[in-house]
Structure 1
Amino acid sequence: MSQLSGNPGSSASDVLRYTAFSADPEGGNPAGVVLDASGLDDAAMLAAAAELGYSESAFLTGTGNRAYTIRYFSPKAEVPFCGHATIATAIALAERDGPGDLVFSTRAGTVPVTVTREGDELRATLTSVEPQVTDIAPDDLTEALAALDWPAADLDPALPARISYAGARHLVLAAATRERLADLAYDFARLEAFMHRLDLTTVQLVWREGPAVFHVRDPFPVGGVVEDPATGAAAAAFGAYARELAIVPEAAVLTLHQGEDMGRPGTLTVELRADDSRVRVSGTGTRIG
């Protein structure tokens, strides 16, 4: 494990490594997890995330009773909410303290998480903050496509572009074919500038395989990485998008496959409930090495 030091005089904190949305350490999305970040300041947390190099790392403080304050840092900046690091942290806590209910206070709001044991695996389910789906201006969509080098003709007209929020903002763009989704070679600097201007965390690229099965990819240049292998926050945002546009029933369970094109396959389960506008995202997780 790496050792971190916060402000002078603070105690060292161990950085744990977990993957989320896969029971295989070689799959899913890796996250750094610091279960006691009480001795770390902002600069130390950012430095730790940058040194580790994962798309996000989570830093936890709390007073017990399974309620915690959690902060998330990419290698370049703090982000308001990160789904895969939430899942990873919940799995780490469940290994230490046992399965059950947790409450995480994030910059985006309160996120309840439940961890259950299914055979030899732990599965964590987060409940998003209140989601919101908005239109994207035509000029902004044109710029996004130019940065991605995607012709507009390659989009799926049945899944129109929107900006969706469920803790962080994501632009949802749907590819008409699996081949289009697989061919991802974008202008890093141009897309990063575009995303900063619209305050986007990722671009959620989607291809629909079946009524409730989707393949997704998430460019993440604002976080300092080309692509996120499995993105819980974007999955929650996509669930809100799919319900808002009536792409799926009001109550539905969606399966999102992500990371296959990166060699880190993961599976994200998105649950929509008719009596609750919030979105639930669940997946397995495991310790890395």
Structure 2
Amino acid sequence: MEILHYSAFTTDPDGGNQAGVILPADTLDSRQMQAIAAKLGYSESAFLSPRADGSFKVRYFAPAAEVPFCGHATIAAAVALARKTGPGPLTFHTAVGEIPVVTRELDGILTATLTSVDTKVVEPAPELAVRLLAALRLRPQDLDPALPLLISFSGNWHPMVPVASAAILAGLDYDFAALEALMAEQGWQATVSVMYRVDGHTFEVRNPFPPGGVREDAATGSAAASLGGYLRHLGLVALPADVTVHQGHHMGRPSLLTVHIPETGGIDVSGSAVPLDV
């Protein structure tokens, strides 16, 4: 068994979101996986168990809990496999369903593209939206009046909270305990995506992650897929569309996520990943 250390959605080991990639993991039980993830301390780690057909069963653990799906650890795991056996298609079997991934190499840089499960978007009850804003320490006037607060699913449910300015996003200072309790109550197992629309195809985002025991995620692939579903649901982009997501620079770990939004079906999220010297 190998424990590999990667940073996803970056070409710089000092950027991106760090992840453990554990391969093969078929001899580990849930308790052991959780202990390894907690010891690594990355926002998530991917545990891969090879299957006879060449695909992989994948489970994802944050330091505090298992999560159904993790985008950045998927990108990290795919690039790690491509470094071992060469680029090409992969299939990951996850708790939320089958996730196809394609790895490519261009000019010596390996990238991976995952396709999420199909998305869906719902509107929160007004009182829930009020409680969410209170936990985020945001006021109604802090929100972008042109974009609604909705909850988008791409394997995980991500509340999508659009703020009115880059300054508001930069000043985000939420109540960890209050948000953790609210997310547990609602069954939200991943992150809240607080976002600022720079232009029609460019977003800056920050992702609090209390369910995983993490203050903030430096790059969140599943939230990027949920953003794609959110934009498609609202008809805010002409389809098919490509959107750029910048994340992590508020933490000193800049990340770049590319989102392709087709007319129907899952959302494609692409990025590079690099091994860490640990």
Output the TM-score relative to the length of structure 1: 0.94
State the partner residue of 2:156.
168
| 1:147 lines up with 2:126 in the alignment | no
Comparing 57-66 with 70-79, greater Cα deviation is found at: 57-66
| 1:230 lines up with 2:228 in the alignment | no
| 1:268 lines up with 2:257 in the alignment | yes
d(CA) in 2 for partners of 1:209, 1:118 = 28
**Deviation string, structure 1 residues 213-247 (Cα, Å, up to 9, x no partner):** 00011000110010000000000011000110112
State the partner residue of 1:203.
192
> Quick check: 1:66–1:101 contact (8 Å CA) kept in 2?
no
**Alpha-carbon distance, 1:196 to partner:** 1.0
The SS at the match of 1:202 is coil
Comparing 57-66 with 243-252, greater Cα deviation is found at: 57-66
d(CA) in 2 for partners of 1:37, 1:79 = 16
**Alpha-carbon distance, 1:159 to partner:** 1.3
> Between Structure 1 and Structure 2, how many residues are aligned?
276
State the partner residue of 2:167.
179
State the partner residue of 1:97.
85
d(CA) in 1 for partners of 2:150, 2:25 = 36
The SS at the match of 2:230 is helix
**Alpha-carbon distance, 1:277 to partner:** 2.2
d(CA) in 1 for partners of 2:51, 2:196 = 43
> Quick check: 1:218–1:229 contact (8 Å CA) kept in 2?
yes
Choose from 83, 92, 108 the match for 2:71. 83
- Runs of at least 4 residues off by over 3 Å: none
State the partner residue of 1:255.
244
Choose from 113, 117, 132 the match for 2:105. 117
Q: Structure 2, unaligned stretches of length 5 or more?
A: none
**Alpha-carbon distance, 1:250 to partner:** 2.3
Q: Structure 1, unaligned stretches of length 5 or more?
A: 1-12
Choose from 156, 165, 189 the match for 2:144. 156
> Quick check: 1:24–1:286 contact (8 Å CA) kept in 2?
yes
The SS at the match of 1:237 is helix
Give identity over the alignment, percent. Answer: 49
Choose from 179, 200, 207 the match for 1:191. 179
Matches within 5 A, 1:239-250: 239-250=228-239
**Deviation string, structure 1 residues 137-164 (Cα, Å, up to 9, x no partner):** 1111101111111111010021101110
State the partner residue of 1:28.
16
The SS at the match of 2:74 is helix
**Corresponding letter in the other structure for 2:169:** L
**Alpha-carbon distance, 1:64 to partner:** 4.7
> Quick check: 2:117–2:265 contact (8 Å CA) kept in 1?
no
State the partner residue of 1:67.
55
Comparing 252-261 with 197-206, greater Cα deviation is found at: 197-206
Output the TM-score relative to the length of structure 2: 0.98
RMSD: 0.8
**Corresponding letter in the other structure for 2:114:** L
> Quick check: 2:51–2:57 contact (8 Å CA) kept in 1?
no
